Amino acid sequence: MNALPGQPHIHWRDGELHVEQVPVTQLAREHGTPLFVYSKASMLAALAAYRRGLEGRRARICYAMKANSSLGVLQVFAQAGCGFDIVSGGELARALAVGAKPHDIIFSGVGKTRAEMAQALQVGIGCFNVESEAELEVLDQVAGQQGRVAPVSIRVNPNVDAKTHPYISTGLKGNKFGIAHERTLHAYKRAASLKHLRVVGIDCHIGSQITDSGPYLDAMDRILDLVATIEAEGIRLQHIDFGGGLGIDYRGDRPPAADALWTELLRKLDARGFGDREILLEPGRSLVGNAGLCVSEVLYLKPGEQKNFCIVDAAMNDLPRPAMYEAWHGIEAAKPRSDAQPTTYDVVGPVCESGDWLGRERSLAVQPGDFIAVLSTGAYCMSMASNYNTRTRAAEVLVDGGRTHVIRERERVEDLLRNERLVD
């Protein structure tokens, strides 16, 4: 068996691509395409790396479900004992639907509504990660109306460059997230003075798809400086939330392994005298990204003077990352043909946009009717999928060894029309 880079549970066997023990072509024929396929073993292996790095520490891993919020995926992490990092009332409902314990849920996001705050307070979530001074005031009011006290952590913007795509950078002064480093102490004093808030921690998240430990170390130094300053004012912080953001291998990327990264970060935490604190983490992409692939059927091969096009039935509504970020995903023929010459193609979908491409200049030995697999699509693909061009969203399958479980039925056009009305 030859495993793909960064994806030990997606591998070649007898000339075919497999997810764990199941051939990709078999999955495509049984469930149709486009189809998202996830490896349960891959998700649990990624989680185990974090746990090795945090062994012996008081730590909670709260899966950042914005990466992939499908119930079957959430269930894997809930059963493994994870908490959840949510950014909406809808995500709260999803977490509760898979049996998450409310006190293991943390609510992030810059635009929480009063209704969402009330919903989260009613079920008793563990913490609100507050992202503005105005939000502190509103949350205090909402908690007061319910006669409750809201546990809060303030998200700090440390002005650290994560050296990632600008759309997924969250820790610089020009980003919308968090409270400016210089305003943090003022915000904590205000939070501590409000009757219906209880300060429990501090939070920091600097971006996504980070492939270097340097930004994490820089951010930790800045956050620990703040912890010392805040506690000098008599405000005790029970936990330190270092967010997520660790990258995965999309195209030869070499992010640090989660266990190695946290061994390094914990050394710094101990050296600064804060090793006794509870640690919260919010990994998302690094737990699910390399666990997934999207299977698509080749519809047409279209030669051209400047480019050759491989037209497939998956599109930008299924896989938005290339169109949004010019992101690179590996693309493989699920069962490469021995009777076809490898040809360089732009792999494109049926949507009426020139931005509807999945990969450029890829060498593939395929014919119409064959299947391709777009790799590393477990994160920020299905969760960002749309119905553009009235295209139904794909089915999803979870593979566990030799067993397969349909965790999302393929949408039908009738599903899309159900809530629409003609005018009388």
Provide the terminal-to-terminal Cα distance of the chain, rounded to the nearest Å: 62
pLDDT at 341: 84
| Rounded Cα gap, residues 287 and 197, in angstroms | 32
pLDDT tens digits along 147-200:
999 999 999 987 665 454 343 344 444 555 578 878 899 999 999 999 999 999
Is 20 contained in some domain?
A: yes
Question: Of the candidates 241, 263, 283, which is a domain's last residue?
Answer: 283
204 in active site: no
Answer yes or no: do 150 and 267 share one domain.
yes
Structure tokens at 361: 């200049």
**Which of 82, 127, 294, 352 is labelled catalytic?**
352
Answer yes or no: do 343 and 405 share one domain.
yes
Percent of the chain with pLDDT over 70: 95
Is 50 contained in some domain?
A: no
pLDDT tens digits along 254-278:
888 999 999 999 999 999 999 999 9
305 confidence band (pLDDT: 50, 70, 90):
confident
Give the CATH number of the domain where residue 279 resides: 3.20.20.10
Give the CATH number of the domain where residue 22 resides: 2.40.37.10
Burial 245-268 (b: 16+ CB within 10 A, else e): bbbbbbeeeebbbbbebbebbbee
Answer yes or no: do 260 and 173 share one domain.
yes
Answer yes or no: do 274 and 347 share one domain.
no
CA nearest to 152, candidates 138, 136, 132, 141: 136
Give mean pLDDT, residues 311-330. 95
Answer yes or no: do 220 and 179 share one domain.
yes
Answer yes or no: do 269 and 337 share one domain.
no
Is 73 contained in some domain?
A: no
- Structure-derived torsion over alpha carbons of residues 250, 253, 256, 257, reported in degrees to the nearest 10: 40
Instruction: Write down the pTM of the prediction.
Output: 0.93
Question: Of the candidates 224, 249, 283, which is a domain's last residue?
Answer: 283
pLDDT at 160: 63
214 confidence band (pLDDT: 50, 70, 90):
confident
Is 84 contained in some domain?
A: no
pLDDT tens digits along 61-88:
999 999 999 999 999 999 999 999 999 9
Cβ atoms within 10 A of the Cβ of 297, count?
20
Q: Which residues pair with 152 in a beta bridge?
A: 128, 199
408 confidence band (pLDDT: 50, 70, 90):
very high
Is 270 contained in some domain?
A: yes
Answer yes or no: do 277 and 366 share one domain.
no
Q: Which of 13-27, 164-178, 228-242, 378-392 has the lowest mean pLDDT?
A: 164-178
Q: Three-class SS of residue 255? A: coil
Is 26 contained in some domain?
A: yes
Element (H, E) at 216: helix 213-232
Percent of the chain with pLDDT over 90: 80
pLDDT at 166: 47
pLDDT at 162: 47
Answer yes or no: do 360 and 246 share one domain.
no
Q: Which residues pair with 279 in a beta bridge?
A: 59, 240
Answer yes or no: do 263 and 295 share one domain.
no
210 confidence band (pLDDT: 50, 70, 90):
confident
| Rounded Cα gap, residues 52 and 393, in angstroms | 36
Answer yes or no: do 113 and 224 share one domain.
yes
What does the mean pLDDT of the chain come to? 92
Question: Of the candidates 254, 283, 312, which is a domain's last residue?
Answer: 283
Could you give phi then psi for residue 75, rounded to 5 degrees?
-60, -40
Is 94 contained in some domain?
A: no
Answer yes or no: do 259 and 142 share one domain.
yes
Quote the domain boundaries for residue 275. 108-283
Answer yes or no: do 157 and 204 share one domain.
yes
Domain total in the chain: 2
Query: Could you tell me if residue 326 is left (phi over 0), alpha (psi between -120 and 50 degrees) or otherwise beta?
Result: left
Of the two residues 114 and 5, the one the predictor is more confident about is 114
Cβ atoms within 10 A of the Cβ of 324, count?
15
Q: Which residues pair with 202 in a beta bridge?
A: 154, 240
Q: Is the dihedral of CA 288, 289, 291, 294 positive or negative?
A: positive
